[in-house]
């Protein structure tokens, strides 16, 4: 199936590893030009090398901390200068710290979580809308978490902030429909990234299990009985970015092996 992504310009945040990396590579494999942002210049360079070796595609890397407005603006300026505009934005950022209400009684952690996951998304979207309008449309894809649909124990910051991003996406889907800008949210569940492995190792240490035992325990709670891969998650992002998903907007999709029972 031709996804209609050849020559499209995609900006992918937090793309030096994990889900962002898989999305960037997936889009490049379909012929998109990709502009990559993350804090690690070295990590970005490694992803860019992989993309060039596998696809021969056009890649731009801009070291960026998405909690900093000026750095987001610089990423956009360099992308527009290099490629002339943008068709696809994948918003993404690391998750806020694990913890319960009792762990976050001061304002600091709440403000940081808002800046990391909500305000960064607002700023990235604000950056690309004029270009997408000028180009006749676009795709905005927000990587969030299944905590958008149902709270996850010990993740009170994520449970609070991330549903706001999904609400933003649904609101913008209506407001930007006349501009043919489609806005969707994709929620990973148990995808085995470095962050997932860190949580698994932490549980293994606390319970005296091996890493393999901790993985098996978590996998047993998933209907498909396994963790997903970043590539499986990226497949959904690439599809929603494509011309084949031209009638999908305002959707919140879980990629979680059936684990979430929320609609």
Q: Mind listing the pLDDT tens digit for each residue in 122-146? A: 999 999 999 999 999 999 999 999 9
Locate all alpha helices (DSSP H) within the chain, ordered by sequence: 18-29, 41-55, 69-83, 107-113, 120-134, 156-175, 194-207, 211-219, 230-241
Domain residue extents for the chain:
9-191+228-255, 194-227
| pLDDT tens, N- to C-terminus, the chain (263 residues) | 799 999 999 999 999 999 999 999 999 999 999 999 999 999 999 999 999 999 999 999 999 999 999 999 999 999 999 999 999 999 999 999 989 999 999 999 999 999 999 999 999 999 999 999 999 999 999 999 999 999 988 899 999 999 999 999 999 999 999 999 999 999 999 898 877 777 777 777 888 888 888 888 888 989 999 999 999 999 999 999 999 999 999 999 999 998 887 76
Which among 79, 127, 132, 126 is positioned nearest to 241, based on CA atoms?
A: 132
For residue 122, how many other CB atoms are within 10 A of its CB? 14
What's the CATH code, domain 9-191+228-255? 3.40.50.720
Helix-strand-coil split of the chain, %, nearest 5: 50, 15, 30
Q: Which pLDDT belongs to residue 202?
A: 75
Whole-number Å distance between alpha carbons of 126 and 109? 25
Residue 126 CB contacts under 8 Å (≥ 6 apart), including other chains:
none
Please give the Cα distance from 142 to 153 (Å, whole number). Answer: 22
Q: Where are the alpha helices (DSSP H) in 107-153?
A: 107-113, 120-134
Tokens 């030096």 -> residue: 16
Nearest to 13 by CA among 32, 45, 39: 39
Determine the Cα–Cα distance for residues 37 and 90; give it in Å rounded to an integer: 10
The predicted pLDDT at position 110 comes to 97
CA 144 to chain centre: 6
Judge whether 51 and 39 are in contact, CB under 8 Å: no
């Amino acid at each position: 199936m031709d996804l209609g992504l050849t020559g499209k310009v995609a900006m992918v945040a937090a793309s030096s590893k994990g889900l962002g990396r898989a999305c960037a590579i997936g889009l490049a494999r379909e012929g998109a030009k990709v502009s990559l942002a993350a804090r690690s210049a070295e990590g970005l360079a490694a992803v860019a090398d992989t993309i060039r070796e596998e696809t021969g595609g056009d890649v731009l890397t801009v070291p960026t901390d998405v909690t900093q407005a000026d750095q987001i603006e610089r990423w956009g300026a360099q992308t527009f200068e290099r490629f002339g505009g943008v068709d696809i934005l994948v918003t993404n950022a690391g998750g806020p710290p694990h913890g319960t209400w009792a762990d976050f009684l001061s304002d600091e952690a709440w403000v940081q979580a808002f800046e990391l996951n909500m305000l960064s998304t607002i700023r990235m979207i604000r950056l690309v809308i004029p270009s997408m309008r000028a180009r006749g449309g676009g795709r905005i894809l927000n990587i969030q978490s299944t905590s958008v649909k149902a709270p996850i124990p010990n993740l009170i910051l994520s449970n609070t902030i991330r549903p706001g991003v999904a609400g933003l996406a649904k609101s913008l889907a209506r407001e930007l429909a006349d501009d043919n800008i489609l806005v969707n949210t994709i929620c990973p569940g148990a995808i085995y990234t470095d962050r997932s492995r860190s949580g698994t190792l932490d549980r293994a240490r606390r319970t005296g299990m091996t890493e393999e035992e901790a993985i098996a325990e978590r996998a047993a709670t998933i209907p498909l009985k396994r963790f997903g891969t970043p590539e499986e998650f990226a497949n959904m992002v690439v599809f929603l970015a494509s011309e084949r998903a031209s009638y999908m907007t305002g959707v919140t999709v879980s990629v979680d092996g059936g684990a979430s029972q929320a609609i």
